[in-house]
Amino acid sequence: MSLDLSAKKATSIKLFNFSAPAMRAFHMSWLAFFVCFFAWFACAPLMPVIAGEFHLTKDQIANINIAAVAITILVRLIVGPLCDKYGPRKTYTTLLLLGSIPVFGVASANSYESFLFFRLLIGAIGASFVITQYHTSIMFAPNVVGTANATSAGWGNAGGGATQALMPLLLSALVMFGVEQAMGWRIALIVPGVMMVIVGLLYWKFTQDCPQGDFKELRAQGFAAGSDKKGGIAILMHAARNYRVWILFCSYAACFGIEIFMHNIIAMYYVEHFNFGLKEAGMTAGVFGLLALFARAFGGIVSDKIAIKKGLDGRTRILFILILGEGLFLMLFSHMNSAVFAILSMTIFALFTHMACGATYALVPFIDREALGGVAGIIGAGGNVGAVAAGFLLKGMVDIQTCLMVLGGLVVIAASSVMLIRFSVEHKEKEQRLFEQAILERGSEQNSAA
């Protein structure tokens, strides 16, 4: 017996309603992603200190940055189908608890090799993003799913900005209390590991897989919850046959890939290029990440608003505009030799980047409902492919400014590919009916509440 997952989906976002399953999933998924993102990039703002202790070369630092995002590609491909198979609640809890182990491990590293090993494993928690987007996608109706996806991801992404700003302050506080700097960065890195364990237990306690309940119980009652494809590979292959998935794979490489690349290098860039101190560089780099608090959500909101009149084609066009703006301002940022103008251009570039990420996943739920986990996983992996490619590009470049200039050009090219996305008339009509149905449900809910 098939289960209609479109039934009981939330048609509005009520931030202070913690009793509704959709809102509990919304709040727990952004909080889990925030903590994972915080832990994922906790090492980045401390790299000047860590590099000094381990006497790291430029190539070794580049290898560490690449390792931080490389394994995420594989794990994102895996967790998407796992959400379809086992449900987001079980998948997220497992990732949080297991992912805390290498976070604790990196604090005990005593050489370049051991630090690189744990940094590689920490990258697995970057797959948390796919679960966040999967969970909100099946909890919210078409009229608000773009906003829900973008807001949960944006608030979670802000963990990258928070860690840039807070980790240097935490290290400074420990040193002020008499802790040696060599021990201080290790103690500081234990904090995000503890946060992951706590949030993992909370996720298990307060969420459920979909509006109707958990997949396991629903299947026991004879309902076909999640995907009806047998096995994760079948779900992944079904998604992989859709060309739109690969265009969005490239577009996400161009926005989220650039975002996480910047998280890895931005603090050191301001230290080396503008002679900033560790705290000043951390606070400046934090601006880039913390803009995700509202900018990514705004990308999803704009996509949802345009979809009211322009449908799926409107969502595609706004994504093109945002990625194009990102590429142009990244090239401008790469030419800045004044700290003030660098920060200003970085801020505008960051706004376009975060909004493009939000607009990408505002489109994802409409690509293929039969393999949502596979679609979300492949496109999510694209972000990390972009970050790894940017890391290798940096290794081969003379300086970071040239690398940023080239990346800006590549982002512009990726933007143009978005305009190749097309939807059949039948596909658009079906999604439009679901969209209008959600609008009517929301209207009736408001009337009954009045």
Query: Residues 369-390: pLDDT tens digits?
Result: 777 778 888 898 898 899 889 9
Return the H-helix or E-strand segment holding 444: helix 425-449
pLDDT bracket for residue 232 (50, 70, 90): low
Token digits for 348?
Answer: 């505008």
As a whole number of angstroms, the distance between CA 352 and CA 359 comes to 10
Look at 441 and 225; give whichever has higher pLDDT: 441
pLDDT bracket for residue 26 (50, 70, 90): very high
The model's pTM: 0.79
Q: Give the model's pLDDT for residue 5.
A: 52
Per-residue model confidence as pLDDT tens digits over 240-288: 889 999 999 999 999 989 988 988 788 888 888 888 887 888 888 888 8
Look at 354 and 445; give whichever has higher pLDDT: 354
As a whole number of angstroms, the distance between CA 3 and CA 228 comes to 10
Q: Give the model's pLDDT for residue 447.
A: 58
Answer left, alpha or beta for residue 320, where phi above 0 means left and psi between -120 and 50 means alpha: alpha
Question: Residue 102 pLDDT more than 90?
Answer: yes
- The segment with the largest mean pLDDT, out of 113-117, 178-182, 230-234, 261-265, is 113-117
Per-residue model confidence as pLDDT tens digits over 134-159: 999 899 988 888 889 888 988 988 88
Question: Residue 170 pLDDT more than 80?
Answer: yes
Answer left, alpha or beta for residue 411, where phi above 0 means left and psi between -120 and 50 means alpha: alpha
Q: Give the model's pLDDT for residue 230.
A: 53
Per-residue model confidence as pLDDT tens digits over 28-74: 999 999 999 999 889 888 888 888 888 888 888 888 888 888 888 88
Question: Residue 161 pLDDT more than 90?
Answer: no
Q: Give the model's pLDDT for residue 9.
A: 85
Contact indicator for 401, 335 with CB cutoff of 8 Å: yes
pLDDT bracket for residue 443 (50, 70, 90): low
Length of the chain: 450
Q: Give the model's pLDDT for residue 225.
A: 63
Name the amino acid, one letter, at 438: A
What's the longest Cα–Cα distance across the chain?
A: 67
Domains of the chain plus CATH, in order, are 21-213+227-449 (1.20.1250.20)
